Amino acid sequence: MNYYIGVDAGGTKTSASSYDDKENSLSEVKNGPGNISVNQTDALNNIYKSIDDILKIEKEHNLKGIAMGIAGLPNDKKEEFISLFNKKYNVPIIIESDYMMAFKSTFKKNNGILVIAGTGVVMFGSYDEQTVKLGGWGHLLGDEGSGYDIVIRTIKHAIDLFEEKNTQAEVITELITAIGCDDFEGLKRYIYANEKSEIAKFAPLIVEKAKKGDPFVVSIINEVVDILYSKIKLISKKLGLEKMTEFSAMGGVLSPDSFVLELLLLKINSDHSYLKYIPSGNPSAAAVAMINNSIKEKSRYAVGLMSGTSLDGIDTVLCRVYGYDLKTIIDVVDFETYDYEKESLNKIEKIVSGVKVLLSDISELNVALGYEYAKAVKNICEKNNVDTGNLYFIASHGQTVFHEATGNKNIRRSTMQLGEPSIIAYETGAKVISNFRAKDMAAFGEGAPLVPKSELILYQDGYDKILLNIGGISNMTYLPNDGNQNNMSGFDTGPGNMMINEAVNYFYNKDYDNQGKIASEGKLVKPLLDELMSHWFISKKPPKSTGRDEFGKEYTLSLIKKYSEEKPEDIIKTMTVFTASSIAKHVKEIIQSNKNVDRLIVGGGGTYNLTLLKCIKQNLSDTKIEVLTQDEIGYSSDAKEAIAFVVLGNQTIHQRPGNIPNVTGAHKEVILGSITYPN
């Protein structure tokens, strides 16, 4: 789960709160004063402690950023402090004045007047893009109408009363007792010795006395209300209010149940002004919108291209991307799957089928796919009014036509993806990152699966889970709840849709089994299932990866021929059960080693095969694991792999590793891919 931290560092205390994406409050802590202008060292320590306390509480979740409202921070020091906090926490940092944080949390439409009366008083108003600020002098001069002012004003009036009539006001007797001194002299010494924030703490005692009807104190509170009201009138005049505008108040003096606020609202309402009172928001709650808006402003557009072994088109995702490593933030703008041109698709199918082809065929297809990928980028960018030349990068996986991960005496380990990046770069005017698998293989890895790195970055939700992608090939990632990549595992489990699609195409001349309806009408052919489950790859220990060379058209047709006496729907049913059984076998093996696994999250085209999903659930019914689809947890099943390559491309751009050695078998982490520049 993502969360945000909002900090309200004021003159009397520092509050830090965490929020989820929908601004729901998760946790809150409070520490000492955070006004930088009073005592910078103490204020910073209190702010740091508040943030660190929240980090401990939310340690299993993913922090997206910190927004702070800091009292007493000069504008010319803001960037310095942003850099200071960014260095410590390595997330987006936003620093505003405490009153601006409060304003943004209260007025969503950015029009309104906010009065904050605590130790000091500050008023801020915005109307039709014009802004006015009054007050904020509390720690220098003492704002009229503030908590500090109420205490000092009361003492001054009490001194006048004492000197004129030799009478001590009852409120002063209570104040002297509360402070712990003996007389006016002791009171004076207390005022000299303490900060305004300490003195202001006694304002509620005075206000409560007024609420009970003490005429001496009521007159003082009415003075304060008149002062606050006159300033509200002034700010309204400066803003040129001409229609009903929202007004809100907060702070110790103007808390929701405050007698001062009650009297102030009576005065405003009796004046028939343009002001409509609304409750104030929690200042730190503005963190969510502020952080997301900042990320949106600073993030950059990128496109991910993925064309998998199922050959069902070019998955194209347009994203906004910000940050890197575990602090990567991806916002999906749009997703489309574009069909291959028929001629290109025929050539791909010919090459991956294993028949001999001319080198010129491969070279020509490489160029043709480059143009098709460039067209896909142009289409999705045009649809969303994005100039391709302004893209941060394009991450193109390319079309795999050969992948031999293990090697033997007769053949070297190698991989080949087609789709010429130079053409994509030239046609779009953007940097292109491609050839992702080769570097991992150079480091003695299998070059697959690479998606687990993106899953580690994107799926930090506190669950102990397995992420399954069912494309042409099925692959899974075990992602522990601690997010430690050294405890992760990931590998291909065998075929996903590949053999099912080949059989459906052979018998029915269709591309796939829509919702698994054909399989749902068939019966299991037990000898065929036994033969499929005995395939050497199913029992191979990870790391492992596979492709069409093992489970493609040639292998599928050989089995169809061998079991030619069986009904087509029975063969398709058995191949569907085989995919589910091979997946379940590997899930159970992970569960044996990691007893806390509680979720299997399924993505990819296979999620639309309802019979396949049902078979997976049946195979896992003897476990406690919950089976969910990507869509059920708020992610796109279709876009997952294209998004993964945006994440990996972003890692490359930042010169950060994109593989996980204990997943691919590589000797070390490496930066993946090659960068092709447009000029």
Place of tokens 């041109």: 341
Task: Say what the pLDDT of residue 230 is.
Answer: 92
Count of Cβ atoms closer than 10 Å to residue 509 Cβ: 7
CA distance 489 to 607: 22
Residues 433 and 653: beta-carbon distance below 8 Å: yes
610 pLDDT band, cuts 50/70/90, is: very high
Tokens 């045009």, residue located: 382
Give all strands of the β-sheet with 62-70 in edge-to-edge order: 25-31, 14-19, 2-9, 62-70, 93-96
Binned at pLDDT 50, 70 and 90, residue 140 comes out as: low
Q: In terms of C-beta density within 10 A (0-12 exposed, 13-18 middle, 19 or more buried), how is residue 28 classed?
A: middle
- 669 Cβ contact partners less than 8 Å away, ≥ 6 residues apart: 657, 659, 660, 661
Check: CB of residue 619 under 8 Å from CB of residue 584: yes
**Of 244, 254, 252, nearest to 279 (Cα)?**
254
**Strand spans (E) along 165-296:** 245-250, 275-277
What pLDDT shows up at residue 196? 82
As a whole number, mean pLDDT of residues 438-462 equals 89
Q: Provide the pLDDT for residue 139.
A: 57
Task: Kindly list the domain boundaries of the chain, sorted by start residue.
Answer: 2-96, 114-284, 299-676
Could you tell me which residue, 518 or 280, shows the higher pLDDT? 518
Residue 138 scores a pLDDT above 70? no
Listing from the earlier edge strand, what are the strands of the sheet with 489-495?
489-495, 473-479, 465-470, 599-603, 626-629
For residues 649 and 647, give the distance between their C-alpha atoms in angstroms, rounded to a whole number. Answer: 5
* Whether pLDDT at 577 is above 90: yes
pTM (two decimals) = 0.69
Using alpha carbons, select from 502, 503, 461, 504 the residue that is nearest to residue 479: 461
**CATH 3.30.420.40, domain 2-96, yes or no:** yes
Phi, psi for residue 332 in degrees, rounded to 5: -75, 120
Alpha-carbon gap, residue 494 to 22, rounded angstroms: 39
C-alpha dist (Å) from residue 63 to 44, 327, 464? 20, 8, 18
Q: What is the pLDDT of residue 481?
A: 81
Q: Per the structure block, which two tokens stand in for 602?
A: 């399924």
Burial of 213 (0-12, 13-18, 19+ CB in 10 A): exposed
Segment 42-63, tens digit of pLDDT: 999 999 999 999 999 998 777 8
pLDDT in tens, 212-254: 999 999 999 999 999 999 999 899 889 888 788 889 998 888 8
Alpha helices in 240-282 (DSSP H): 259-270
> Of 27-31, 137-141, 461-465, 568-572, where does mean pLDDT reach its minimum?
137-141
Question: What CATH number has the domain spanning 114-284?
Answer: 3.30.420.40
Superfamily name with CATH number, domain 299-676: ATPase, nucleotide binding domain (3.30.420.40)
On whether the CB atoms of residues 16 and 53 are closer than 8 A, the answer is yes
pLDDT band (50, 70, 90) for residue 194: confident
* Greatest mean pLDDT among 186-190, 290-294, 492-496: 492-496
- Segment 402-437, tens digit of pLDDT: 888 777 667 788 999 999 999 999 999 999 999 999
- Three-class secondary structure of residue 478 per DSSP: strand
Task: Give the tens place of pLDDT for each residue, 487-524.
Answer: 888 899 999 999 999 999 999 999 999 999 999 999 99
Share of the chain above pLDDT 70, in %: 99
pLDDT at 147 over 70: yes
Residue 545: helix, strand or coil by DSSP?
coil
The neighbour count for residue 409, using CB atoms within 10 Å, is: 5
Report the distance separating Cα 479 and Cα 559, nearest Å.
35
Choice between 22 and 494, residue whose per-residue pLDDT is larger? 494
DSSP summary character for residue 75: G
Burial class of 168 by CB neighbour count within 10 A (0 to 12, 13 to 18, 19+): middle
pLDDT of residue 652: 97
Quick check: 19 pLDDT over 80? yes
Is residue 35's pLDDT more than 70? yes
- pLDDT at residue 11, rounded to an integer: 75
Closest of 200, 254, 212 to residue 229, by C-alpha: 254
Judging by beta carbons within 10 Å of its beta carbon (0-12, 13-18, 19+), is residue 204 exposed, middle or buried? middle
Q: Residue range 378-390: average pLDDT?
A: 97
Lowest mean pLDDT among 144-158, 367-381, 653-667: 144-158
pLDDT of residue 565: 95
Q: What is the pLDDT of residue 12?
A: 77
Let me know: does 417 contact 328? Beta carbons within 8 Å: no
The residue whose two tokens read 């990870």 is 542
Banded model confidence at residue 297, pLDDT cuts 50, 70, 90? confident
Q: Which of 399, 271, 413, 301 is nearest to 650 (CA)?
A: 301
DSSP-based helix, strand, coil % in the chain, nearest 5: 45, 20, 30
- Mean pLDDT, the chain, whole residue set: 90
Helix (H, G, I), strand (E, B) or coil at 652: helix
Q: Is the pLDDT of residue 632 over 80?
A: yes
Domains 2-96 and 114-284 agree in fold: yes
Question: Tokens standing for 197?
Answer: 């924030």
